[in-house]
Amino acid sequence: MVWSGLTVGVTGGAGFIGSHLVDRLLSEGASVVVLDVCSSEKAAQVPDSARLVIGSIADPDARREALSDCDAIFHLAAIASVVLCEEDSELSASVNRQASLDLLAEAGISGVGAFVFASSAAIYGEPQHLPITESHPITPLATYGADKAAVDEAITTLGLEEVPATALRFFNVYGPGQDPSSPYSGVVSIFTQRASSGEGVTIFGDGLQTRDFVHVSDVVSAMMTAGESLLTHSTASPAHATPFNVCSGETVTLLDVVATLDAITQQPMDVTHAPARDGEIRDSFGDPSYLIETLDWTPEVTLEEGLRELLDQL
């Protein structure tokens, strides 16, 4: 067992994806340290068996307290709202960019055996070809994507003498625990909650925009697999200084999502159309084959299975 007995830091470990990762690491026998700015409500949800340091990744003392003795670090903490990053680009620059770069440098100094960064499909910007492969140009549309891209690039240009690290480019992640009421709620969390309560949904645009929804358990497996490879092979790992798309390869329209929910609940939802969101990307779907072939990862949860699971839990 690669993780048993290791101390593993998870920044953003009280968040949606991070909390699933923490559960998985604990079940694999790791000692987990969570660094998160979380509310007291979120703090209470962090398992007692993990050590929680409440603080920002932009605070060097908090980083030191939480992460200086870690064997591996998963870096998920970020200002996740694209809108907030646009409104406060200084905040995004200090948290999403500079603190992440500082953390990466400190991980190198302290000899961390694996650094896994939560990058984003947002770094690709408007797709120039579909499906999006890792060689797609990095042309982010906004501050959030630009700051993620800066850290992604720092990782993918690391040398063999530096910290073993990888950048995982998440597409549209969904699954249990994603808050439908937050300002950056994913469409799946909103639509499943509405389907469950019998309320209608609003589709921005014609509903034919495409996305690549990847289940959080598959995202966790991708992070674990990449981390294991780095811990085992260090900078000789094929994951080192390499970016990977983390996506399902399943392309769906929003109308497909509604139709699938309708079929599961056997109750058609009321759908209202509103104008498309400004500056939104119409089609975004990725090619997961590089991760599948390089690290033997397989996305296992189909969108229909994932939606059924969510509705069962509501």
Instruction: Give helix 60-67 / helix 100-110 axis angle, nearest 10°.
Output: 40
* 3-class secondary-structure state, position 250: coil
Task: Report, in Å, the least distance between residue 236 CB and ligand UD2.
Answer: 32
Q: Judging by beta carbons within 10 Å of its beta carbon (0-12, 13-18, 19+), is residue 135 exposed, middle or buried?
A: exposed
Site for ligand UD2 in 54-93 (CB under 6 A): 82
In the complex, least distance from residue 274 CB atom to ligand UD2, rounded to whole angstroms? 8
Q: Find the part of the chain contacting ligand UD2 (CB under 6 A) among 17-25, 44-52, 180-188, 230-238.
A: 180-188
Position 209 contacts ligand UD2 (CB under 6 A): yes
Compute the least distance from the CB of residue 55 to ligand UD2, in Å: 23
Quick check: 254 binds ligand UD2 (CB under 6 A)? yes
Using CA atoms, how far apart are residues 242 and 237, in angstroms rounded to an integer?
A: 9
Q: Which two tokens stand for residue 148?
A: 């993620």
- Among residues 113, 131, 176, 186, the one that binds ligand UD2 under rule CB under 6 A: 186
Structure tokens at 233: 């092979």
Q: Which of 184, 249, 251, 255: binder of ligand UD2 (CB under 6 A)?
A: 184
- Work out whether the CA dihedral 85, 88, 91, 94 comes out positive or negative: positive
Per-residue mark of binding to ligand UD2, 27-56 (x: CB under 6 A): ------------------------------
- Determine if 281 is a binding residue for ligand UD2 (CB under 6 A): yes
Please select the residue that binds ligand UD2; options are 25, 85, 187, 295, rule is CB under 6 A: 187
Identify whether the C-beta of residue 83 lies closer than 8 Å to the C-beta of residue 63.
no
Q: From the list 128, 182, 202, 267, which residue makes contact with ligand UD2 (rule: CB under 6 A)?
A: 202
Residue nearest to ligand UD2 (CB): 186
- Burial readout 18-32 (b: 16 or more C-beta within 10 A, e: otherwise): bbbbbebbbebebbb
Beta-carbon count within 10 A of 277 CB: 10
Least spacing, CB of residue 215 vs ligand UD2, in Å: 13
CA 117 to chain centre: 9
Decide whether 33 or 82 has the Cβ nearer to ligand UD2. Answer: 82
Whole-number minimum distance, CB 299 to ligand UD2, in Å? 16
Report CA-CA distances (Å) from 107 to 29, 69, 122, 129.
22, 10, 25, 35
Q: Which residues contact 64 (CB under 8 A, 6 or more apart)?
A: 106
Active site (annotated) includes residue 174: no
Q: In terms of CB distance, is 121 or 155 closer to ligand UD2? A: 121
Nearer to ligand UD2, 64 or 277 (CB): 277
- Contacting residue, 120, 242, 248, 260, with ligand UD2 by CB under 6 A: 120
Catalytic residue among 144, 174, 184, 290: 144
- Residue positions counted in the chain: 314
- What are the residues whose beta carbons fall under 8 Å from the beta carbon of 187, sequence distance 6 or more? 172, 211, 254, 257
Contact residues toward ligand UD2 (CB under 6 A) are 82, 120, 122, 172-173, 184, 186-187, 190, 202-204, 209, 211, 254, 277, 280-281, 284
Give catalytic residue positions: 144
